[in-house]
């Protein structure tokens, strides 16, 4: 068996969502998963949605795990559903995501029936997160790595908890590789406005964390 990354996630307080809101977000999230799978098809990425408010994905390249997880989070946070008439700048939906890295075997046609250390790390940590209130976590067989990112992700939660829908939208496109001008063109704002939103979203700090994560993943898991 080789090292795989399993991303498990669910919607926070999903039972309080209006039925149409949850359906709308899940519909768009499913389309986002398909786009990610197509974008990273050479790297073996597969996602599935189950139980109505939960999802799970497998990445054969652990190096991409955090950027993919953040892209999913930013996508959900930026979503403004037509099912809800609101002028609030606070995200109408949020998720928690658990990243597990370890040896595993999996069936591409049925991720939820696959097994191995990566699945156990991801799933069990997600259950703990519900009690602890954390929104992003990483679990591996290496206790030192787990301890480092426990601290790093606590700071990440502090940053993302302050995101507005506008901040999340900018981070989403930055993670997809857009320039400030391309984002400005995409959403109909000035480049100066995008730059301000990027700073408000804590993009520089997020980049540092992404770089550190990629260094660790390449050293220990590839």
* Residue range 16-66, pLDDT digits in tens: 888 888 898 999 999 999 999 999 988 889 999 988 899 999 999 999 999
Query: pTM of this prediction?
Result: 0.93
Q: How far, in Å, CA of 178 to CA of 211, rounded?
A: 18
The whole-chain average pLDDT of the chain stands at 92
Say which residues have a Cβ less than 8 Å from residue 67's Cβ, sequence separation at least 6. 175, 210
Which helix (DSSP H) or strand (DSSP E) does residue 116 occupy?
A: strand 115-116
Whether residue 79 is predicted with pLDDT greater than 80 in this model: the reply is yes
The pLDDT of residue 141 is above 80: yes
DSSP state of 60: S
Q: Is the separation of the CB atoms in 27 and 16 below 8 Å?
A: no
CATH number at residue 179: 3.30.70.1230
Residue 87 — pLDDT band, cuts 50, 70, 90?
low
Q: What mean pLDDT do residues 185-214 have?
A: 98
Look up residue 138 and give its DSSP letter: E
**Domains: count for the chain:** 1
Q: Name the residue range of residue 117's domain.
A: 2-220
């Amino acid at each position: 068996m080789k090292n795989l990354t399993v991303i498990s996630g669910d919607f926070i307080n999903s039972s309080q969502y209006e039925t149409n809101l949850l359906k709308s977000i899940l519909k768009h999230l499913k389309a986002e998963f398909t786009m990610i799978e197509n974008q990273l098809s050479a790297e073996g990425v597969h996602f599935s949605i189950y139980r109505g408010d939960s999802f799970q994905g497998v990445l054969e390249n652990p190096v991409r795990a955090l950027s993919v997880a953040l892209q999913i989070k930013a996508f959900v946070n930026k979503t403004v559903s037509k099912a809800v008439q609101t002028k609030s700048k606070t995200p109408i939906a949020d998720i928690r995501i658990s990243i597990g890295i370890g040896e595993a075997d999996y069936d591409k046609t049925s991720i939820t029936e696959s097994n191995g250390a990566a699945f156990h790390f991801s799933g069990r940590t997600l259950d703990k997160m519900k009690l602890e209130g954390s929104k992003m976590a990483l679990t591996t067989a290496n206790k030192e790595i787990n301890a480092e990112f426990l601290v790093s992700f606590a700071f990440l939660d502090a940053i993302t908890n302050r995101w507005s829908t506008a901040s999340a939208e900018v981070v989403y496109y930055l993670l997809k590789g857009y320039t400030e001008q391309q984002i400005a063109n995409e959403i109909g704002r000035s480049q100066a406005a995008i730059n301000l939103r990027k700073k408000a979203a804590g993009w520089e700090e997020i980049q540092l964390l992404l770089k550190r994560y990629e260094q660790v993943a390449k050293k220990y898991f590839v």
